[in-house]
Structure 1
Amino acid sequence: MAMFATLVKVRGIILMWNEDFFLEASLMFLLLVCFGYLSLVWVSKWVLGHKKTKKFPPGPLPLPIIGHLHLLTGIPHQALAKLSSKYGGLMGLNLGQQRCVVVSSPEVAKEFLVKHDKAFANRPPYGFTSCLFYGQQNDLFFASYGAPWRRRRKICTLRLFTAKRLQEVEYVRYELVGALLHKISRLSHDGTVAVDISECVGDMSTNLISRLLYSHERESERDQGGTDVPQLVKDLEQETVPFIGDFIPWISWLDLWRRPRIRYVHRHMDAFITRILTERKEAMMHNNAPTDDLLHEIMKPSQDEDHSLTMLEVKSIILGMLGGSIHTTALTLEWAMAELLKNPHCLTKLQREIDTVIGCKKKQISDSDIPSLKYLRCVVKEVFRLHPVAPLLLPRISTEECKVHDYTLPANTHLLVNVWAIGRDEGVWKNARNFIPERFEGKDIDLKGQHFELLPFGAGRRICMGLPLALSMVEVTLANLVNKFDWELPNGVTCETMNMNEKAGISSNKAAPTIAVPRHRV
């Protein structure tokens, strides 16, 4: 019975917390029988082959077949951080039959992301990538490192994320931040009603990314009875998790029940993207298509193969941008506001800086004001330190054998960088669990992958290309939210009792929405 209970737990862990699905009892019984038989096979192979194994980083003793999957209970990055406190900044695990190393220190992270960056530049070939993202090799985030991936990344970077491009579309961000402030004022009835900050910034983030990508907004979609993009993105995130067979190939048949759900999500997302592309093609034929969004840039005909994309690549880029941008910006803003509400002295200090540097008469803060707001940037860095959107970054896999410190890592070793654990390491940060923006004052620490104690966007070849846009949007939006309104917790909630817990998922999602009462500043 204990073994059966362990299997039930592992099933939930492998599925990455998809609580809406349950395996049939018959499948679990068959799995139990297989487990018992193959345990004997595994133990014999482990005993015979153990002496031949090269030195691998330390970790807890694995169970037969499942390895260490049973240890990833609750929230994975927190569970891994707890294990790393015992086994060190470089820990070895067996996720089913897959070798994996978990990095939880800045020094080791630098070793992997600088010295061995090229060897670990690939992504694991998880089964969901071919189902959701038009084939792994057409994708931006999960494609293997190589010339096709570099070409797609270069096109997107040059056409959306350069400083010049961000300046050209600044008016879009300025307009949508203004709309956000107006919406909050309207919903709060001029400071008499609490508002859901997560919902407000989520809508703003959706509108921003939609405008930048294909010149649509969520409100226009809803008015036309169209697709609910945020819900599609949530569905996509829920399914962006490995299959059981990715870790234990011989029971990959258990994934058959999950595939219909993935096909459902992909079908609806593909229908939405196809409609967007069809409308754009028609507009281009009549010479009345928008010319200031990413879709215009990536659909332009080109005689140069290095600057042309297939239709599958275009679809995959749009899908990846939606999935990787909308939720992440909104989540960071929600955590930022939550921390300021929990630490009102920081909120007051930030408002005073804005009043002193910018002046209280300016209606809306823009990008050009941000470099002068030193404390604002400290606040944003502190938010990313405590609440990185991707706590384990995206996994990597090695293409060759590597020697790291005194250990030998074979080819096809998975790599997880626990930036959440690094950000809360007492050996790196004093009072690491406390929100103290002042820790960054006078220090030259940025978010661009050069300082390995702070890696919310990753580093090296696979650093997040959307960093400039995400950082700008968080800074400008947060500055305007605290400049426009005084914020208070609703009745019955105090700084001590507000819920700052995370919930399970691949992102650092907040367990409870952030609710507050905004009042116009005098």
Structure 2
Amino acid sequence: MDYPTFLLLLSFILSIIYVLTVSGRNDSRLPPGPYRFPVIGNLLDLGHEPHRSLATLSKRYGPLMSLKLGSRTTIVVSSPDIAKEFFHTHDRVFSSRSVPETARVIDHHKFSMVWLPAEDHWRRLRRITKEYMFSAQRLDASEGLREKKIRELVRHIDRCCTSGKVVNVGAVAFTTTLNILSNYMFSMDFAQYDSVSSQEFKETVWALMEVSGKPNLVDFFPILKRLDPQGLVSRVTIYGKKLLTNFDRIIDQRLQRRSSSSSPVGVSSANDDVLELLLNLNLKDESKFSRNDMMHLFLALFIAGTDTISSTLEWAMTELIRNPEKMETARSEILKLTQNDDKNIQESCIAQFPFLQAIIKETLRLHPPAPFLIPHEAIHEAEVQGFTVPKNAQILCNVWAMGRNPTVWSNPETFMPERFLNVEIDYKGQDFKLIPFGAGRRICPGLNFAHRMLHIMLGSLIQNFDWELEGNASPQDIDMGEKFGITLQRNIPLVAIPIKL
């Protein structure tokens, strides 16, 4: 039975049981929206590509729109001006999270900075993340690590050139990002490019993201929670526990090494990776930063950090292969600075590559990694644009629709990096035309890490290789279909032939 048919059947059954209607006392004060069916509300309006479906509906009902998704009132934001009202003017009111059922398994929502309400515990984790992981000082100090892993990526692709192998761009980007994170956190690789036996962690992360990204009927109808009709909660539990067990084992190994070391407790004899620093913090005061806090922080960072970066890079490479003149412009820009010294692109040089920066911005405009960001929730009832946003309403910000709005962007469907040249637009949360990482107090804490990673990884792939498709296929024939989930991935992975320059 397909998903729409199941919903219709469920609507009929629940209608008989509850004889519910969708109109309530406050509906007239809600933002406009499409007609709501009994029980299921607007679930059938979502389709298989909700970001596109809601973008189409917003053209009819406006950039501030209300839906009823099962039992959940949902407000959809689709313009920069209204996004600014929600995440700047009324940032505190809408700073809570709409927690999906899959985030509640293994108590992740109780420890994860992603899902916690913006209160004391969340602020403490946010401060720890900034100080010990993503501060400019910490990122500068770890630049050599990222350069080393990028060189490994280049050597792997170089071997593919020699052997005539094609490259799955998203997969190698994922492995590179995963190993950079695992070395930054734990001083170890989690995966190898050519080793099947080392892919277990990577496959578990991928599986967890795929399952978590599927629409879950339990989120729309909490009465079905015990039934878990799609089996999503049980599968997420398996994958989540597997990852937490890995982190738990790594922590135990590090503690054992510290206890057997001749160095004083809290002093690393080898390095000061993130785990070492966090263990010092944990031992200092476990009541403020527990082992559970640590493990769930690692879980959130690996899930959020790997796929968003690798999928964005895959989209960027796809657009450049389809627009070879843009790739050549970027390559010329990079080679002007690097060829005389025979060196790879460095993070300190990013500011000197305006066209490369423009490519990243344009990719994030057309292909934001999280098309609805992470859903917010209203802490209490509020008024926006003369309409009522009820307490506990879910807030979806359709950044995908905002990036393709013809009133904001000229030729919005066209890949034009040059639109970002000589203009003051960035994605750091101040310009609401482009907020792929969110804005306000809930902006992605790893934004600066992603910024560095995307530029040096994409720059290295452009600098060292040209790229073509298998079988002399035309770049314009590349399937640009999207697979909706936690991140907006390509429906068909980009596989290309690297050519050594």
TM range (shorter): over 0.9
1:188 matched to 2:168: no
- Against the structure 1 CA distance between its residues 511 and 73, is the aligned structure 2 distance closer, same or farther, given a 3 Å change threshold? same
For residues 304 and 278 of structure 1, the distance between their equivalents in structure 2, rounded to whole angstroms, comes to 17
Q: Which amino acid aligns with 1:281?
A: L
- Against the structure 1 CA distance between its residues 6 and 471, is the aligned structure 2 distance closer, same or farther, given a 3 Å change threshold? closer
- Structure 2 counterparts to residues 184-333 of structure 1, below 5 A: 184-189=157-162, 192-219=164-191, 228-241=200-213, 243-255=216-228, 257-287=231-261, 290-301=270-281, 305=285, 308-333=288-313
| Secondary structure of residue in 2 paired with 1:189 | helix
For residues 145 and 305 of structure 2, the distance between their equivalents in structure 1, rounded to whole angstroms, comes to 16
1:42 matched to 2:42: no
Deviation string for 1:207-253 (max 9, x for gaps)? 11111111110247997956712111112213325642332223334
- Against the structure 1 CA distance between its residues 289 and 246, is the aligned structure 2 distance closer, same or farther, given a 3 Å change threshold? farther
Deviation string for 1:259-298 (max 9, x for gaps)? 4323222231222111111111112212366533211111
Query: Residue 171 of structure 1 aligns with which residue?
Result: 144
| Secondary structure of residue in 2 paired with 1:496 | helix
For residues 193 and 305 of structure 1, the distance between their equivalents in structure 2, rounded to whole angstroms, comes to 52
| 8 Å CA contact retained: 1:198, 1:514 | yes
Of 494, 499, 503, 2:474 maps to: 494
| 8 Å CA contact retained: 1:389, 1:507 | yes
Structure 1, unaligned stretches of length 5 or more?
A: 12-27
Q: CA deviation at 1:380?
A: 0.9
Q: CA deviation at 1:471?
A: 0.7
Q: Which amino acid aligns with 1:229?
A: F
Q: Which amino acid aligns with 1:164?
A: Q
Of 398, 408, 411, 1:431 maps to: 411
| Secondary structure of residue in 1 paired with 2:209 | helix
- Structure 2 counterparts to residues 352-391 of structure 1, below 5 A: 352-359=332-339, 361-391=341-371
For residues 117 and 483 of structure 2, the distance between their equivalents in structure 1, rounded to whole angstroms, comes to 30
- Against the structure 1 CA distance between its residues 212 and 451, is the aligned structure 2 distance closer, same or farther, given a 3 Å change threshold? same
Deviation string for 1:46-93 (max 9, x for gaps)? 3xx45x545111110000001111111111111111111111111110
Aligned residues: 493
Query: Residue 160 of structure 1 aligns with which residue?
Result: 133
1:140 matched to 2:137: no
| 8 Å CA contact retained: 1:206, 1:229 | no
Q: Which amino acid aligns with 2:76?
A: V
Deviation string for 1:100-154 (max 9, x for gaps)? 111110011001000111011111233222214x341211111111010110111
- Against the structure 1 CA distance between its residues 334 and 151, is the aligned structure 2 distance closer, same or farther, given a 3 Å change threshold? same
Q: Which amino acid aligns with 2:335?
A: D
Query: Residue 504 of structure 1 aligns with which residue?
Result: 484
| 8 Å CA contact retained: 1:38, 1:65 | no
Q: Which amino acid aligns with 1:114?
A: H
1:456 matched to 2:436: yes
Q: CA deviation at 1:469?
A: 0.5
| 8 Å CA contact retained: 1:244, 1:254 | no
For residues 306 and 428 of structure 1, the distance between their equivalents in structure 2, rounded to whole angstroms, comes to 49
For residues 470 and 391 of structure 2, the distance between their equivalents in structure 1, rounded to whole angstroms, comes to 54
User: TM-score, normalised to structure 1's length?
Assistant: 0.89
Structure 2, unaligned stretches of length 5 or more?
A: 262-267
User: TM-score, normalised to structure 2's length?
Assistant: 0.93
| 8 Å CA contact retained: 1:90, 1:101 | yes
- Against the structure 1 CA distance between its residues 491 and 225, is the aligned structure 2 distance closer, same or farther, given a 3 Å change threshold? closer
Deviation string for 1:324-371 (max 9, x for gaps)? 111111111111111110000101111111222333542311111111
Of 111, 125, 128, 2:85 maps to: 111
- Against the structure 1 CA distance between its residues 475 and 9, is the aligned structure 2 distance closer, same or farther, given a 3 Å change threshold? farther
- Against the structure 1 CA distance between its residues 301 and 163, is the aligned structure 2 distance closer, same or farther, given a 3 Å change threshold? closer
| 8 Å CA contact retained: 1:42, 1:65 | yes
- Against the structure 1 CA distance between its residues 491 and 145, is the aligned structure 2 distance closer, same or farther, given a 3 Å change threshold? same
1:129 matched to 2:109: no
Q: CA deviation at 1:420?
A: 0.6
Of 391, 396, 419, 1:416 maps to: 396
For residues 393 and 139 of structure 2, the distance between their equivalents in structure 1, rounded to whole angstroms, comes to 37
For residues 30 and 340 of structure 2, the distance between their equivalents in structure 1, rounded to whole angstroms, comes to 59
1:10 matched to 2:7: yes
- Against the structure 1 CA distance between its residues 155 and 290, is the aligned structure 2 distance closer, same or farther, given a 3 Å change threshold? farther
Of 66, 73, 77, 2:40 maps to: 66
1:399 matched to 2:396: no
Q: Which amino acid aligns with 2:20?
A: W
| 8 Å CA contact retained: 1:151, 1:306 | no
CA root-mean-square deviation: 2.4
Query: Residue 447 of structure 1 aligns with which residue?
Result: 427
| 8 Å CA contact retained: 1:364, 1:480 | yes
For residues 470 and 453 of structure 1, the distance between their equivalents in structure 2, rounded to whole angstroms, comes to 19
| Secondary structure of residue in 1 paired with 2:30 | coil
- Against the structure 1 CA distance between its residues 136 and 360, is the aligned structure 2 distance closer, same or farther, given a 3 Å change threshold? same
Q: Which amino acid aligns with 2:66?
A: G
For residues 249 and 32 of structure 2, the distance between their equivalents in structure 1, rounded to whole angstroms, comes to 51
For residues 202 and 312 of structure 2, the distance between their equivalents in structure 1, rounded to whole angstroms, comes to 16
- Structure 2 counterparts to residues 328-339 of structure 1, below 5 A: 328-339=308-319
For residues 31 and 196 of structure 2, the distance between their equivalents in structure 1, rounded to whole angstroms, comes to 56
Identity across aligned pairs (percent)? Answer: 31
331-340 or 235-244, which moves further after superposition? 235-244
1:518 matched to 2:498: yes
For residues 317 and 477 of structure 2, the distance between their equivalents in structure 1, rounded to whole angstroms, comes to 16
250-259 or 93-102, which moves further after superposition? 250-259
| 8 Å CA contact retained: 1:151, 1:307 | no
